[in-house]
Structure 1
Amino acid sequence: MAEILREIGMIARALDSISNIEFKEYDLTKGQYLYLVRICENPGIIQEKLAEMIKVDRTTAARAIKKLEENNFIQKTADADNRKIKRLLPTEKGEYIYPMIKKENDYSNQVALKGLTEKEAEKLVYLLEKVRKNIEVDWEFVKKGNKRQY
């Protein structure tokens, strides 16, 4: 069987390492840029939805969000209808950094797809989305405290 998960893991770790190094000058480390991008693209998102979107547990998300808030990249605001719900919004500083993160992402995509035809790139995206959806089923299952049977 093909070792696709090893390849995906190596790609993800290499890109994460590059981003952590390149964004260090902006005080964005340990994948915080992922959270900032999602908040900029979904202003007003709640922490639980953000964690689900990035596929991390709530504690990991809470740590990253706290750091982003401490470094003035985002702010929490109370929901208009339910004051207990905190909505996440980018600050001016966060909005300023967002285009640079997006530019890095676009460049990394371009590098990753170098040598592939447009049809191959589309097929790759289609197949990876299919793989992600398969994994999401187990992720949801395990997240709820269940154990997979292998």
Structure 2
Amino acid sequence: MAEILREIGMISRALDSISNIEFKELDLTKGQYLYLVRICENPSIIQEKLADLIKVDRATAARAIRKLEINGFIVRKNDEENKKIKKLYPTNKGLNAFPFIIRENTHSNQVALGGFTQEETEMFYQLLCRARRNIEVDWKNVKKGKKRVY
């Protein structure tokens, strides 16, 4: 049923558009808030793991991380044991933006799930997680250069 993925895409693009407009006052643009939230939730995360969490390629993650660093939301620090590994941490500016982003996310969840019962919300969440896990298999394979069979 192709309509399901179209609906998910429309929801995602609408919420992303809203967030990009609302977060301009924080100097966050083009989805950077996604990266900042994950870094705040997982201080010391490495770039590759962050890209995997958000489901983007490394180049896309690198650009967003670089902009966050330039704008003072995050810092990169060398790992204590392996100096080649750079860990990502939120700055005070990033930590100050975090609650605003979470409030927006909570509000968006409440609007999106308006009229849903607790059981419907839980079922919807479980089904979306299952769909994501299904897609992750193809996503990981395509990242490795494999072709999907249609």
TM-score by length of 1: 0.99
Query: Larger deviation: 1-10 or 22-31?
Result: 1-10
> Within 2, Cα distance between the matches of 1:32 and 1:99?
15
- How does 1:24-39 map onto structure 2 within 5 Å? 24-39=24-39
Amino acid at match of 1:64: A
Amino acid at match of 2:73: F
> Within 2, Cα distance between the matches of 1:104 and 1:3?
27
1:20 and 2:36 aligned: no
| Alpha-carbon shift at residue 2 of structure 1 (Å) | 5.0
1:126 and 2:126 aligned: yes
TM-score by length of 2: 0.99
| Identical columns (%) | 70
Which residues of structure 2 form unaligned runs of 5+?
Answer: none
Match of 2:108 in 1: 108
> Within 2, Cα distance between the matches of 1:124 and 1:21?
27
Q: What does the per-residue CA deviation read over 1:100-121, in whole Å, with 9 as the maximum and x for residues that have no partner?
A: 0000000000000001000000
> What RMSD over aligned residues (CA atoms) do the two structures have, in Å?
0.6
- How does 1:1-150 map onto structure 2 within 5 Å? 1=1, 3-150=3-150
Q: Count matched residues.
A: 150
| Alpha-carbon shift at residue 85 of structure 1 (Å) | 0.3
Which residues of structure 1 form unaligned runs of 5+?
Answer: none
| Alpha-carbon shift at residue 3 of structure 1 (Å) | 1.3
Query: Larger deviation: 2-11 or 16-25?
Result: 2-11
Amino acid at match of 2:111: V
> Within 2, Cα distance between the matches of 1:2 and 1:44?
39
